Structure 1
Amino acid sequence: MTKGEETKQFIIERSAPIFNTKGIAATAMSDITEATQLSKGSLYVHFENKEVLAASAVDYNMQLLSNKVMAAVNKQKTAKDKLFAFVDTLKDPLSPPVTGGCPMMNFGTEADDTNQLVKTKVNQAFDNAELTIAGIIQQGIKEGSMNPDWNYKEFATMIFAMIEGGIVMSRVAGNISKMNIIVKNIKKMITEQLI
Protein backbone atom coordinates (compact mmCIF):
# COMPACT_ATOMS: atom_id res chain seq x y z
CA MET A 1 0.00 0.00 0.00
CA THR A 2 1.16 3.50 -0.77
CA LYS A 3 1.13 6.15 1.95
CA GLY A 4 -2.01 7.65 0.39
CA GLU A 5 -3.76 4.26 0.35
CA GLU A 6 -2.76 3.67 3.97
CA THR A 7 -4.17 7.06 4.99
CA LYS A 8 -7.39 6.40 3.09
CA GLN A 9 -7.78 3.01 4.79
CA PHE A 10 -7.03 4.60 8.18
CA ILE A 11 -9.80 7.17 7.61
CA ILE A 12 -12.28 4.45 6.65
CA GLU A 13 -11.39 2.29 9.67
CA ARG A 14 -11.71 5.22 12.09
CA SER A 15 -14.91 6.61 10.57
CA ALA A 16 -16.74 3.28 10.05
CA PRO A 17 -17.83 2.82 13.68
CA ILE A 18 -18.96 6.45 13.85
CA PHE A 19 -21.17 6.14 10.77
CA ASN A 20 -22.53 2.81 12.02
CA THR A 21 -23.33 4.22 15.46
CA LYS A 22 -24.59 7.72 14.62
CA GLY A 23 -25.83 7.15 11.09
CA ILE A 24 -24.76 8.85 7.89
CA ALA A 25 -26.94 11.95 8.28
CA ALA A 26 -25.94 12.57 11.90
CA THR A 27 -22.22 12.06 11.35
CA ALA A 28 -20.40 15.33 10.75
CA MET A 29 -17.00 15.71 9.15
CA SER A 30 -15.90 17.18 12.48
CA ASP A 31 -16.61 13.76 14.03
CA ILE A 32 -14.23 12.26 11.49
CA THR A 33 -11.53 14.88 12.01
CA GLU A 34 -11.72 14.25 15.76
CA ALA A 35 -11.45 10.46 15.32
CA THR A 36 -8.62 10.62 12.79
CA GLN A 37 -6.82 13.75 14.06
CA LEU A 38 -6.65 14.85 10.42
CA SER A 39 -7.76 18.21 9.04
CA LYS A 40 -10.86 18.51 6.86
CA GLY A 41 -8.53 19.36 3.99
CA SER A 42 -6.69 16.07 4.46
CA LEU A 43 -9.98 14.17 4.48
CA TYR A 44 -11.10 15.84 1.26
CA VAL A 45 -7.83 14.86 -0.42
CA HIS A 46 -8.92 11.23 -0.04
CA PHE A 47 -12.70 11.55 -0.22
CA GLU A 48 -14.58 13.96 -2.46
CA ASN A 49 -17.30 14.49 0.16
CA LYS A 50 -18.98 12.93 3.18
CA GLU A 51 -21.23 10.75 1.01
CA VAL A 52 -18.24 9.11 -0.70
CA LEU A 53 -16.61 8.47 2.67
CA ALA A 54 -19.91 7.15 4.07
CA ALA A 55 -20.25 4.69 1.17
CA SER A 56 -16.74 3.39 1.91
CA ALA A 57 -17.61 3.12 5.62
CA VAL A 58 -20.77 1.17 4.74
CA ASP A 59 -18.70 -1.27 2.67
CA TYR A 60 -16.13 -1.61 5.45
CA ASN A 61 -18.72 -2.24 8.18
CA MET A 62 -20.61 -4.82 6.14
CA GLN A 63 -17.40 -6.60 5.14
CA LEU A 64 -16.30 -6.65 8.78
CA LEU A 65 -19.62 -8.21 9.78
CA SER A 66 -19.42 -10.76 6.97
CA ASN A 67 -15.85 -11.69 7.91
CA LYS A 68 -16.81 -12.28 11.55
CA VAL A 69 -19.85 -14.37 10.66
CA MET A 70 -17.94 -16.43 8.10
CA ALA A 71 -15.00 -16.98 10.47
CA ALA A 72 -17.43 -18.56 12.96
CA VAL A 73 -19.23 -20.55 10.24
CA ASN A 74 -16.01 -21.85 8.69
CA LYS A 75 -14.79 -23.26 12.01
CA GLN A 76 -17.64 -25.78 11.86
CA LYS A 77 -17.77 -29.06 9.94
CA THR A 78 -21.45 -29.98 9.64
CA ALA A 79 -24.17 -27.94 7.97
CA LYS A 80 -26.18 -27.87 11.22
CA ASP A 81 -23.23 -26.53 13.18
CA LYS A 82 -22.53 -23.95 10.47
CA LEU A 83 -26.13 -22.70 10.61
CA PHE A 84 -25.99 -22.58 14.41
CA ALA A 85 -22.71 -20.62 14.22
CA PHE A 86 -24.27 -18.15 11.78
CA VAL A 87 -27.15 -17.55 14.20
CA ASP A 88 -24.95 -17.50 17.31
CA THR A 89 -22.69 -14.81 15.88
CA LEU A 90 -25.69 -12.48 15.68
CA LYS A 91 -27.60 -13.60 18.78
CA ASP A 92 -26.61 -10.74 21.08
CA PRO A 93 -27.48 -7.40 19.48
CA LEU A 94 -26.40 -5.57 22.64
CA SER A 95 -22.84 -6.89 22.14
CA PRO A 96 -22.74 -6.93 18.35
CA PRO A 97 -19.84 -8.24 16.28
CA VAL A 98 -19.49 -4.75 14.72
CA THR A 99 -19.34 -1.54 16.76
CA GLY A 100 -22.66 0.27 16.56
CA GLY A 101 -24.77 -2.78 15.75
CA CYS A 102 -25.76 -4.56 12.57
CA PRO A 103 -24.68 -2.33 9.68
CA MET A 104 -27.29 -3.84 7.38
CA MET A 105 -30.02 -2.88 9.84
CA ASN A 106 -28.56 0.54 10.63
CA PHE A 107 -27.74 1.67 7.10
CA GLY A 108 -30.72 -0.08 5.54
CA THR A 109 -33.18 1.70 7.80
CA GLU A 110 -31.55 5.06 7.24
CA ALA A 111 -31.05 4.73 3.49
CA ASP A 112 -34.29 3.11 2.35
CA ASP A 113 -35.81 6.46 1.32
CA THR A 114 -32.77 8.72 1.20
CA ASN A 115 -29.69 7.11 -0.33
CA GLN A 116 -30.03 4.82 -3.33
CA LEU A 117 -26.35 3.86 -3.38
CA VAL A 118 -26.34 2.69 0.24
CA LYS A 119 -29.75 1.07 -0.20
CA THR A 120 -28.34 -0.97 -3.10
CA LYS A 121 -25.26 -1.98 -1.07
CA VAL A 122 -27.41 -3.13 1.86
CA ASN A 123 -29.79 -5.03 -0.40
CA GLN A 124 -26.81 -6.87 -1.91
CA ALA A 125 -25.58 -7.72 1.59
CA PHE A 126 -29.03 -9.13 2.44
CA ASP A 127 -28.93 -11.24 -0.72
CA ASN A 128 -25.42 -12.48 0.11
CA ALA A 129 -26.46 -13.46 3.65
CA GLU A 130 -29.45 -15.39 2.34
CA LEU A 131 -27.27 -17.11 -0.27
CA THR A 132 -24.83 -18.11 2.47
CA ILE A 133 -27.61 -19.66 4.55
CA ALA A 134 -29.10 -21.40 1.52
CA GLY A 135 -25.65 -22.69 0.51
CA ILE A 136 -25.10 -24.21 3.94
CA ILE A 137 -28.45 -25.98 3.75
CA GLN A 138 -27.66 -27.22 0.23
CA GLN A 139 -24.41 -28.64 1.62
CA GLY A 140 -26.40 -30.45 4.33
CA ILE A 141 -28.80 -31.89 1.75
CA LYS A 142 -25.89 -33.09 -0.42
CA GLU A 143 -24.22 -34.68 2.61
CA GLY A 144 -27.48 -36.44 3.45
CA SER A 145 -27.81 -34.81 6.87
CA MET A 146 -30.77 -32.57 6.00
CA ASN A 147 -34.22 -33.12 4.53
CA PRO A 148 -33.93 -33.06 0.71
CA ASP A 149 -37.47 -31.62 0.46
CA TRP A 150 -36.57 -28.60 2.60
CA ASN A 151 -37.33 -25.37 0.76
CA TYR A 152 -33.98 -23.90 1.73
CA LYS A 153 -34.41 -20.67 -0.26
CA GLU A 154 -37.57 -19.74 1.62
CA PHE A 155 -36.03 -20.78 4.91
CA ALA A 156 -32.96 -18.62 4.23
CA THR A 157 -35.20 -15.59 3.72
CA MET A 158 -37.24 -16.36 6.81
CA ILE A 159 -34.27 -17.03 9.12
CA PHE A 160 -32.54 -13.84 8.05
CA ALA A 161 -35.70 -11.75 8.48
CA MET A 162 -36.19 -13.24 11.95
CA ILE A 163 -32.62 -12.42 12.95
CA GLU A 164 -32.80 -8.85 11.66
CA GLY A 165 -36.18 -8.35 13.34
CA GLY A 166 -34.75 -9.71 16.58
CA ILE A 167 -31.85 -7.30 16.32
CA VAL A 168 -34.04 -4.22 16.12
CA MET A 169 -36.42 -5.50 18.83
CA SER A 170 -33.51 -6.20 21.18
CA ARG A 171 -31.77 -2.89 20.62
CA VAL A 172 -34.96 -0.91 21.12
CA ALA A 173 -35.93 -2.88 24.25
CA GLY A 174 -32.39 -2.83 25.64
CA ASN A 175 -32.44 -6.58 26.31
CA ILE A 176 -32.14 -9.78 24.31
CA SER A 177 -35.09 -11.72 25.72
CA LYS A 178 -36.98 -11.67 22.40
CA MET A 179 -33.84 -12.54 20.45
CA ASN A 180 -33.37 -15.54 22.75
CA ILE A 181 -36.85 -16.74 21.73
CA ILE A 182 -36.03 -16.21 18.05
CA VAL A 183 -32.69 -18.05 18.29
CA LYS A 184 -34.26 -20.96 20.17
CA ASN A 185 -36.98 -21.34 17.52
CA ILE A 186 -34.61 -21.00 14.57
CA LYS A 187 -32.44 -23.76 16.01
CA LYS A 188 -35.53 -25.89 16.61
CA MET A 189 -36.61 -25.42 12.97
CA ILE A 190 -33.13 -26.38 11.77
CA THR A 191 -33.05 -29.46 14.02
CA GLU A 192 -36.45 -30.57 12.69
CA GLN A 193 -34.95 -30.76 9.18
CA LEU A 194 -32.12 -33.10 10.21
CA ILE A 195 -32.14 -36.69 9.00
Structure 2
Amino acid sequence: MTKAERTRRYIIEKAAPIINRKGMAGTSISDIMEATQLAKGGVYGNFESKEEICAEALDYLLRKVSAAIEAKLATKHSYGDKLFALLDYYKGSLKIPGFSGCPLLNFGTEADDTNPLIKQKVSKAIAYSQQRIASMISAGIAAGEFAKELDAGLFALKAFAMIEGALWMSHVQGNNRQLRIVTDLLKKEIMAHSL
Protein backbone atom coordinates (compact mmCIF):
# COMPACT_ATOMS: atom_id res chain seq x y z
CA MET A 1 0.00 0.00 0.00
CA THR A 2 1.42 3.38 -1.00
CA LYS A 3 1.61 6.36 1.34
CA ALA A 4 -1.21 8.05 -0.61
CA GLU A 5 -3.40 4.94 -0.23
CA ARG A 6 -2.66 4.80 3.50
CA THR A 7 -3.55 8.49 3.86
CA ARG A 8 -6.83 8.04 1.96
CA ARG A 9 -7.73 5.07 4.14
CA TYR A 10 -6.84 7.01 7.29
CA ILE A 11 -9.07 9.91 6.23
CA ILE A 12 -11.98 7.58 5.51
CA GLU A 13 -11.56 5.68 8.80
CA LYS A 14 -11.66 8.95 10.73
CA ALA A 15 -14.37 10.64 8.64
CA ALA A 16 -16.82 7.74 8.32
CA PRO A 17 -18.12 7.71 11.91
CA ILE A 18 -18.51 11.49 11.86
CA ILE A 19 -20.45 11.45 8.58
CA ASN A 20 -22.63 8.60 9.84
CA ARG A 21 -23.40 10.59 13.01
CA LYS A 22 -23.72 14.12 11.63
CA GLY A 23 -24.88 13.35 8.10
CA MET A 24 -23.30 14.23 4.79
CA ALA A 25 -24.64 17.78 4.76
CA GLY A 26 -23.92 18.28 8.46
CA THR A 27 -20.29 17.17 8.25
CA SER A 28 -17.94 19.93 7.24
CA ILE A 29 -14.44 19.65 5.86
CA SER A 30 -13.37 21.30 9.12
CA ASP A 31 -14.84 18.31 11.01
CA ILE A 32 -12.78 15.97 8.85
CA MET A 33 -9.67 18.13 9.22
CA GLU A 34 -10.08 18.12 13.00
CA ALA A 35 -10.53 14.34 13.15
CA THR A 36 -7.57 13.62 10.89
CA GLN A 37 -5.34 16.49 12.06
CA LEU A 38 -4.73 17.25 8.38
CA ALA A 39 -4.85 20.62 6.68
CA LYS A 40 -7.47 21.32 4.03
CA GLY A 41 -4.88 20.64 1.33
CA GLY A 42 -4.10 17.30 2.96
CA VAL A 43 -7.72 16.28 2.70
CA TYR A 44 -8.38 17.68 -0.78
CA GLY A 45 -5.01 16.46 -1.99
CA ASN A 46 -6.39 12.95 -1.57
CA PHE A 47 -10.04 13.46 -2.55
CA GLU A 48 -11.66 15.58 -5.23
CA SER A 49 -14.69 16.52 -3.15
CA LYS A 50 -16.56 15.97 0.07
CA GLU A 51 -19.03 13.86 -1.95
CA GLU A 52 -16.19 11.47 -2.82
CA ILE A 53 -15.27 11.23 0.87
CA CYS A 54 -18.91 10.51 1.74
CA ALA A 55 -19.21 7.80 -0.90
CA GLU A 56 -16.04 6.08 0.29
CA ALA A 57 -17.10 6.52 3.92
CA LEU A 58 -20.34 4.69 3.17
CA ASP A 59 -18.43 1.88 1.44
CA TYR A 60 -16.11 1.64 4.45
CA LEU A 61 -19.00 1.50 6.95
CA LEU A 62 -20.87 -1.11 4.93
CA ARG A 63 -17.74 -3.29 4.66
CA LYS A 64 -17.21 -2.96 8.40
CA VAL A 65 -20.79 -3.97 9.24
CA SER A 66 -20.75 -6.82 6.71
CA ALA A 67 -17.44 -8.17 8.07
CA ALA A 68 -18.82 -8.11 11.63
CA ILE A 69 -21.95 -9.98 10.51
CA GLU A 70 -19.97 -12.53 8.49
CA ALA A 71 -17.71 -13.17 11.50
CA LYS A 72 -20.80 -13.92 13.62
CA LEU A 73 -22.29 -16.19 10.95
CA ALA A 74 -19.02 -18.08 10.46
CA THR A 75 -19.20 -19.40 14.03
CA LYS A 76 -22.54 -21.14 13.37
CA HIS A 77 -23.23 -24.30 11.40
CA SER A 78 -26.99 -24.62 10.99
CA TYR A 79 -28.96 -22.05 9.02
CA GLY A 80 -31.29 -21.51 11.95
CA ASP A 81 -28.30 -20.70 14.16
CA LYS A 82 -26.92 -18.38 11.48
CA LEU A 83 -30.22 -16.50 11.28
CA PHE A 84 -30.34 -16.21 15.08
CA ALA A 85 -26.73 -14.93 15.08
CA LEU A 86 -27.68 -12.30 12.50
CA LEU A 87 -30.62 -11.17 14.61
CA ASP A 88 -28.43 -11.12 17.73
CA TYR A 89 -25.89 -8.96 15.91
CA TYR A 90 -28.54 -6.35 15.19
CA LYS A 91 -30.01 -6.60 18.68
CA GLY A 92 -26.57 -5.86 20.15
CA SER A 93 -25.62 -3.13 17.69
CA LEU A 94 -26.68 -0.31 20.01
CA LYS A 95 -23.95 -1.46 22.42
CA ILE A 96 -21.21 -1.13 19.79
CA PRO A 97 -18.91 1.76 20.78
CA GLY A 98 -19.45 4.75 18.54
CA PHE A 99 -22.65 3.36 17.01
CA SER A 100 -24.53 6.27 15.49
CA GLY A 101 -27.30 4.43 13.76
CA CYS A 102 -27.41 2.22 10.71
CA PRO A 103 -25.39 3.63 7.79
CA LEU A 104 -28.06 2.41 5.36
CA LEU A 105 -30.68 4.47 7.15
CA ASN A 106 -28.48 7.46 7.82
CA PHE A 107 -27.01 7.78 4.33
CA GLY A 108 -30.10 6.53 2.52
CA THR A 109 -32.50 8.97 4.13
CA GLU A 110 -30.27 11.92 3.38
CA ALA A 111 -29.41 10.87 -0.18
CA ASP A 112 -32.89 9.74 -1.21
CA ASP A 113 -33.59 12.70 -3.50
CA THR A 114 -30.29 14.55 -3.45
CA ASN A 115 -27.41 12.19 -4.21
CA PRO A 116 -27.92 9.54 -6.91
CA LEU A 117 -24.54 7.87 -6.30
CA ILE A 118 -25.14 7.36 -2.57
CA LYS A 119 -28.74 6.33 -3.24
CA GLN A 120 -27.52 3.67 -5.67
CA LYS A 121 -24.93 2.37 -3.17
CA VAL A 122 -27.57 2.16 -0.42
CA SER A 123 -30.00 0.43 -2.79
CA LYS A 124 -27.40 -2.22 -3.63
CA ALA A 125 -26.60 -2.73 0.05
CA ILE A 126 -30.29 -3.16 0.89
CA ALA A 127 -30.64 -5.77 -1.87
CA TYR A 128 -27.51 -7.55 -0.62
CA SER A 129 -28.75 -7.54 2.99
CA GLN A 130 -32.10 -9.00 1.99
CA GLN A 131 -30.42 -11.56 -0.27
CA ARG A 132 -28.19 -12.69 2.61
CA ILE A 133 -31.29 -13.49 4.66
CA ALA A 134 -33.15 -15.08 1.74
CA SER A 135 -30.14 -17.25 0.87
CA MET A 136 -29.94 -18.58 4.42
CA ILE A 137 -33.66 -19.40 4.36
CA SER A 138 -33.39 -21.10 0.94
CA ALA A 139 -30.33 -23.09 2.01
CA GLY A 140 -32.09 -24.05 5.22
CA ILE A 141 -35.11 -25.30 3.27
CA ALA A 142 -32.82 -27.29 0.94
CA ALA A 143 -31.02 -28.77 3.98
CA GLY A 144 -34.31 -29.80 5.54
CA GLU A 145 -34.05 -27.33 8.43
CA PHE A 146 -37.06 -25.21 7.45
CA ALA A 147 -40.50 -26.04 6.08
CA LYS A 148 -40.93 -25.50 2.34
CA GLU A 149 -43.83 -23.09 2.83
CA LEU A 150 -41.46 -20.51 4.35
CA ASP A 151 -41.12 -17.93 1.57
CA ALA A 152 -37.44 -16.90 1.61
CA GLY A 153 -37.88 -13.63 -0.28
CA LEU A 154 -40.93 -12.53 1.70
CA PHE A 155 -39.33 -13.38 5.03
CA ALA A 156 -36.12 -11.55 4.03
CA LEU A 157 -38.05 -8.41 3.04
CA LYS A 158 -40.11 -8.46 6.23
CA ALA A 159 -37.12 -9.19 8.48
CA PHE A 160 -34.98 -6.46 6.91
CA ALA A 161 -37.74 -3.84 7.11
CA MET A 162 -38.56 -4.74 10.71
CA ILE A 163 -34.91 -4.71 11.79
CA GLU A 164 -34.15 -1.38 10.12
CA GLY A 165 -37.28 0.22 11.58
CA ALA A 166 -36.47 -1.12 15.03
CA LEU A 167 -32.85 0.06 14.73
CA TRP A 168 -34.07 3.56 13.93
CA MET A 169 -36.61 3.63 16.79
CA SER A 170 -34.18 2.14 19.28
CA HIS A 171 -31.43 4.57 18.33
CA VAL A 172 -33.74 7.59 18.54
CA GLN A 173 -35.22 6.48 21.86
CA GLY A 174 -31.89 5.40 23.32
CA ASN A 175 -32.80 1.83 24.23
CA ASN A 176 -33.01 -1.51 22.51
CA ARG A 177 -36.58 -2.39 23.51
CA GLN A 178 -37.85 -2.26 19.94
CA LEU A 179 -34.92 -4.32 18.67
CA ARG A 180 -35.50 -6.97 21.33
CA ILE A 181 -39.19 -7.21 20.44
CA VAL A 182 -38.57 -7.40 16.69
CA THR A 183 -35.74 -9.93 16.90
CA ASP A 184 -37.77 -12.08 19.30
CA LEU A 185 -40.75 -12.02 16.89
CA LEU A 186 -38.53 -12.99 13.96
CA LYS A 187 -36.91 -15.79 15.98
CA LYS A 188 -40.37 -17.14 16.86
CA GLU A 189 -41.31 -17.15 13.18
CA ILE A 190 -38.09 -18.97 12.28
CA MET A 191 -38.73 -21.53 15.01
CA ALA A 192 -42.33 -22.00 13.86
CA HIS A 193 -41.00 -23.03 10.42
CA SER A 194 -38.13 -25.16 11.73
CA LEU A 195 -38.30 -28.92 11.21
Please state whether the residue corresponding to 1:113 is helix, strand or coil.
Answer: coil
The percent of aligned pairs where both chains have the same amino acid is: 45
Where do 1:52-67 residues align within 5 Å?
A: 52-67=52-67
Q: Is 1:72 matched with 2:72? A: yes
Answer yes or no: is the 8 Å Cα contact 1:90–1:97 preserved in 2. Answer: no
> Aligned pair in 2 of structure 1 residues 120, 98: CA closer, same or farther (>3 Å)?
farther
| Residue identity in the other structure for 1:124 | K
| Residue identity in the other structure for 2:11 | I
Answer yes or no: is the 8 Å Cα contact 1:20–1:106 preserved in 2. Answer: yes
State TM-score, norm by structure 1. Answer: 0.96
Unaligned runs of 5+ in 1: none
Answer yes or no: is the 8 Å Cα contact 1:93–1:171 preserved in 2. Answer: no
- Could you list the per-position Cα deviations for residues 112-144 of structure 1 after superposition, in whole angstroms to 9, with x for gaps in the alignment? 121111111111101000110011111111111
Q: Is 1:192 matched with 2:192? A: yes
Count of matched residue positions in the alignment of Structure 1 and Structure 2? 195
> Aligned pair in 2 of structure 1 residues 98, 131: CA closer, same or farther (>3 Å)?
farther
- 1:92 Cα offset (Å): 3.5
Q: Is 1:130 matched with 2:130? A: yes
> Aligned pair in 2 of structure 1 residues 98, 146: CA closer, same or farther (>3 Å)?
farther
Where do 1:1-195 residues align within 5 Å?
A: 1-96=1-96, 99-195=99-195
- 1:95 Cα offset (Å): 2.1
Q: Distance in 1 between matches of 2:62 and 2:98?
A: 9
Q: Distance in 1 between matches of 2:39 and 2:135?
A: 45
| Residue identity in the other structure for 1:48 | E
Unaligned runs of 5+ in 2: none
- 1:93 Cα offset (Å): 4.7
Please state whether the residue corresponding to 2:127 is helix, strand or coil.
Answer: helix
| Residue identity in the other structure for 2:100 | G
> Aligned pair in 2 of structure 1 residues 98, 107: CA closer, same or farther (>3 Å)?
farther
Please state whether the residue corresponding to 1:27 is helix, strand or coil.
Answer: coil
> Aligned pair in 2 of structure 1 residues 97, 72: CA closer, same or farther (>3 Å)?
farther
Q: Distance in 2 between matches of 1:186 and 1:97?
A: 25
Answer yes or no: is the 8 Å Cα contact 1:65–1:97 preserved in 2. Answer: no
Answer yes or no: is the 8 Å Cα contact 1:61–1:98 preserved in 2. Answer: no
- Could you list the per-position Cα deviations for residues 19-62 of structure 1 after superposition, in whole angstroms to 9, with x for gaps in the alignment? 11111000000011111111110111110010111110011011
Please state whether the residue corresponding to 2:25 is helix, strand or coil.
Answer: coil
State TM-score, norm by structure 2. Answer: 0.96
Q: Distance in 2 between matches of 1:145 and 1:126?
A: 26
Q: Distance in 2 between matches of 1:157 and 1:182?
A: 14
- 1:96 Cα offset (Å): 4.1
Answer yes or no: is the 8 Å Cα contact 2:167–2:178 preserved in 1. Answer: no
